[in-house]
Each structure stands twice: as C-alpha cells, then as structure tokens.
Chains A and B, each alone.
Chain A
C-alpha cells in the first residue's frame, strides 16, 4: 500500500494555558491516533528553531542562519508515515488527527515509489 507523510505544524500557543488535566486528555487522543494500525512510523523534530540554509546573493556564498524557517507562528513539530490506498483515503485518516482540534495544521504528501 502507498505510504504518505503527515507533516504536523504546531501552533505553539495552543497548550500554554491548558490545565494538566486538559493536556492529559489531549495527550491521550494523540496516543490513540498513533496506535492505529495505519501509522507506520513517527518522528519528532527537536523543539528548537533550527537553521535556515539559503543560497548567497549574487556571487556570494550560501549562508546558514538561525531559524525559524518561515515567518509564520507555526513550526514543524514532527511527522508520521501512514499507510493508505490513495490520497482520498490518506486525507480521511489525517482528518481524524487530534492535532487539528488543537489548532495545528497538517501537510499531507505521498511518498514517491511507495
């Protein structure tokens, strides 16, 4: 079956004002999704802002500067690989992810050759 990648962008502010009980509830939803048989793998990205590598301006050398990569308030928190028949099916699965309930967005891409 084809594999798809779900890239999870976090809205960092969402959980800030949550109570421990609410955070645990959210955690349980995330864990339940992860346990579903369609999930093949998941990896977290370090919670720092990373580096941005850009080509240099005319004739200049490429540069590496501190992140974030984009101006948006969302940062890429991690990804999951899921198994699905096609994009329609993969989207249906991704729409059930609790991340959406907590203000995050998910980018869904098909892994080539899978």
Chain B
C-alpha cells in the first residue's frame, strides 16, 4: 500500500459514496476482464471480492483512505497478479498477463476507459452463444456487482438455479472463446438488440414486483436505467436505445407515487404528480426527443410514447389506445399487451367493450397464474355492476402470486364487492 492513500487515518469523515462498492465492483470486473480475457472472468471477480474483503478488515481501523476507489483498484490488481501466480497457467501467457496487470495498475484509468470496459462486458454477457435466461443473471453478477443471492432475490429465482445459470454462461464463454471486443456490422446491430432486450426484461422484473416488498427490485430498475444510459451516451446510442431509456426513466419516475405512506397501492387516477421524480421525468422527455429522430419504430418507441402520455397531467386515453394498437401490430402474440390495451379500451369505449376485448385471454396459457388478468377483469365487472362475478374474479386474483401492497388492495376491493 502506498503512503499517499493509506495514511488517511481517523480524521476522515468516514462516509462512502452510496453504492460505491457495488458500482466499483462492476467497473473493476469489467476492467480486469478486458485485461485478462473473458476466459478469466472468475479470476477478475475473485480479485475484486478480495479487494473488498481487505478493505473491510483494514478500513475500520485505519480509516477510509483518501481515495477509496484507487485503493480498491490497486489491491484488486495485486490480487489478480497473485491468483495468476498460483494458477501457473500454461505457457508464458501468465507472465504476459502479469506484466499487463502491473502496467495497468500503475496508470490511472480514465473514466472513459472504465465505461468502455463496462460496455464491452455487457455486450459480451448478451452474446447470442449465451443462453437467453443466463444473460440477465450474468450481467447482474459481473457488470452490476450483485451477488448470486441478490440476483436470485431480484429475479425471484432459487439461488442454486441462478448459480447454475452463471456457471453455464461462463462455460460458454470459455468453450466458445467469446471475445470481449465489440462486434461490428450486422452482428453489432443484432447484439444491440440483445442487450436492449436484457435491459428491458431486467427493468420489467424490477418494475412489476410479483411478491414481497423488496427494495432490491427497485435497485434492478435503477441498474437497468443506468446501463441504458451508459449505452445511450456511447457511440452505440441509437434511437431505439434512447426510446428504452425514456421508457425506463418515465416509469421509474412514477414508482414512488404507486404506493402511499402506509405502503398501499395507489391507482393511476389517484396518483399525486407531485410525488413523481421530476428529474427523471425530464430525463425521460430528453431521451424521448432523441428517440424520435430516426425512421425506425421499435416497441420501445411505442411503449415510451405511452409512458409520455402517462406522465402528463391529463391522460389522453384515445391516443394511448392507438399506441396499444400499434404495439399489438408489432407483437401480435403478446397477451400482456392485449391485457394492457383492454385498460385503455375501458377508458375509451367502456367496461363492456373492455370485457369483450379480454374474453379471448381467459384461455391464454401465457397468463396462467397472472394476478392482473383476474384483477383487471374483476375491475371491469365491478364497473358493469356484476358484483358477484367481480368478487369471484378478485378471489381468483388473490389466489395468484402478487406483491403485498397489491394483495391488500385486492382484499379491500373484494370486501367492497361483498358489502355493496
């Protein structure tokens, strides 16, 4: 340890930037993976973990160093060098890598380089050779600094299953000798689509909390937004990237307004716009403007346009219905889109029309066990005055998995049906 940053000692305020460790972990794993090559992703991860273990055994006594990131950076490099020495890799490759690590450790790394490394790693995690269900898990684990347990919690999956997905992904990386270099030409466009799909489902996982009241899921939204912004601000920032960023920013901006102080669900009409995060709304509008520059219309364009309408003081449901029609043209098989569209139908043409619109969904397998299918139907039935049927639909919704605020909301609604 050099004198300059370990001599900070106890007079330091002892405050770390929020999420510093997690952010730094993502950055460092990306950086070391580029230096070592993707086949040594695990060495990179272990070196980063080790640097943090060392921090926790020394900073509580020595104080937080003046430059915590620099400290972690150097310790992680040294740890990677040690790991290479222990593994004695075949041939002289190990010596070359060690020299490379030494060189890198002694030069300050520009923020831009970190950003490029992080982008490269995410693009690699979304390589078509990696099974689609492993891509999110691997991205969260490596580029976002989540532990296996946190990934499992965020994706509502078992820890073992997530660990396996990550192992499988790493095996693919080694076996197929995946490169961390950015693809080019047609491959690049395809890869951007894959990356956006991963970020989009990462966001949706976090946004639609299926059960519990877990904060890690909000972190998932923030992390998806951060990755989106990272790409939007790079040379790969296409209109569709901006559209996805706009969508995520506008939705995240309204998250706080969806739940009241008691932790209960607040319906769209009752949401208080002063509760919105106006910085995120502005960010969303900014990226929406940049999204509509091109000729290409992606689902992210349409969905962000819907989000733009929801972020207005008065909602234009007719316009929203038209947008859902467009979305359905792009994705005719999506039952979730049909269900959401029905909500707009109810606002424009009334509950009877909306019930007709969701009728075919009652047999849709992709919605089996999905509480919102029943809840939305129950809501329409209440509006048309069919209270008994509404009550049984609310009961069906309550039999599905859902978050605690949603559960309390559905129970209240059921009581209303029964008492009225």
Given A28-B16, A32-B14, A34-B10, A23 and B60 touching (CB < 8 A)?
Answer: no
With an 8 Å Cβ cutoff, the count of chain B residues facing the other chain is 30
Interface hits, A1-52 → B, CB 8 Å: 10, 15-24, 26-28, 30-35, 42-44, 47
Q: Give Cα A77 to B60, complex, Å.
A: 10
Nearest CB of A to B20, in Å: 6
Q: Which residues of B contact A18 (CB under 8 A)?
A: 147
How distant is the Cα of A35 from the Cα of B48 in the complex, in angstroms?
A: 27
Is the beta-carbon distance between A34 and B147 smaller than 8 angstroms? no
Tell me whether A44 and B58 are in contact in the complex, defined as CB-CB below 8 angstroms, given that A23-B52, A24-B19, A28-B16 are known contacts.
Answer: yes
Tell me, yes or no, whether A68 is within 8 Å of chain B by CB: no
Pick the contact of B60 from A16, A19, A21, A30 — CB < 8 Å? A30
Within 8 A of A (CB), among B1-54: 10, 14-16, 19-22, 24-25, 48-49, 52-54
Given known A-B contacts A18-B147, A31-B64, A35-B14, A23 and B21 have beta carbons under 8 A apart: yes
Nearest CB on A from B47, distance (A): 13
B14, B53, B61: the one within 8 Å of A78 (CB): B61
Q: Check B147–A19 contact: CB distance below 8 A.
A: yes
A47 with B10: CB separation less than 8 A: no
CB distance from B251 to the nearest CB of A (A): 23
Q: Are B60 and A34 in contact (CB under 8 A)?
A: yes
Q: Give min CB distance, B332 to chain A, whole Å.
A: 41
Nearest CB of B to A19, in Å: 3
Q: Does B272 contact A (CB under 8 A)?
A: no
Question: Roughly how many angstroms separate A10 CA and B57 CA in the complex, as a whole number?
Answer: 9
Closest A residue to B61 using CB positions = A44
Considering only residues 142-158 of chain B, those with a C-beta below 8 Å from chain A are: 145-147, 149-150
Known: A30-B60, A35-B14, A44-B62. A20 touches B53 (CB 8 A): no
Q: Are B57 and A24 in contact (CB under 8 A)?
A: no
B56 at the A interface (CB under 8 A): yes
Q: How far is the CA of A31 from the CA of B11 in the complex (A)?
A: 11
The answer on a CB contact under 8 Å between B53 and A15 is yes
Count chain A residues whose beta carbon lies closer than 8 angstroms to a beta carbon of B.
27
> How near does chain A come to B403, taking the closest CB pair, in angstroms?
22
Q: Is the CB of B59 within 8 A of A21?
A: no
B21, B24, B62, B63, most chain A CB atoms within 10 A: B21
- The residues of A that contact B14 with a CB separation of less than 8 Å are 31-32, 34-35
Tell me the minimal C-beta distance from A70 to chain B in angstroms. 18
Give the distance to chain B from A6, nearest Cβ to Cβ, in Å: 11
Bitwise, B359-375 to A at CB < 8 A (1) or not (0) is 00000000000000000
Asked if B266 is an interface residue, CB under 8 A from chain A, the answer is: no
Decide yes or no: A20 and B145 within 8 Å by CB, A31-B60, A47-B54 being known contacts. yes
Whether the Cβ atoms of B147 and A22 lie closer than 8 Å is: yes
Asked if A24 and B60 sit within 8 Å, CB to CB, the answer is no
Which of A17, A31, A77, A78 makes the CB contact (< 8 A) with B147? A17
Do residues A19 and B22 form an inter-chain contact, with CB atoms below 8 A?
yes
Q: Which residues of A contact B (CB under 8 A)?
A: 10, 15-24, 26-28, 30-35, 42-44, 47, 77-78, 80
Query: Told that A17-B147, A21-B19, A22-B147 touch, could you supply 11 new A-B pairs with CB distance under 8 A?
Result: A20-B21, A21-B145, A21-B147, A24-B21, A24-B22, A31-B15, A34-B61, A42-B60, A42-B61, A44-B57, A44-B61
30 contacts between A and B (CB under 8 A): A15-B53, A17-B149, A19-B145, A19-B146, A20-B22, A20-B145, A21-B21, A21-B22, A22-B147, A23-B21, A23-B55, A23-B56, A24-B16, A24-B19, A24-B21, A26-B56, A27-B16, A27-B21, A30-B56, A31-B15, A31-B59, A33-B60, A34-B63, A42-B61, A44-B57, A44-B58, A44-B60, A47-B54, A78-B60, A80-B61
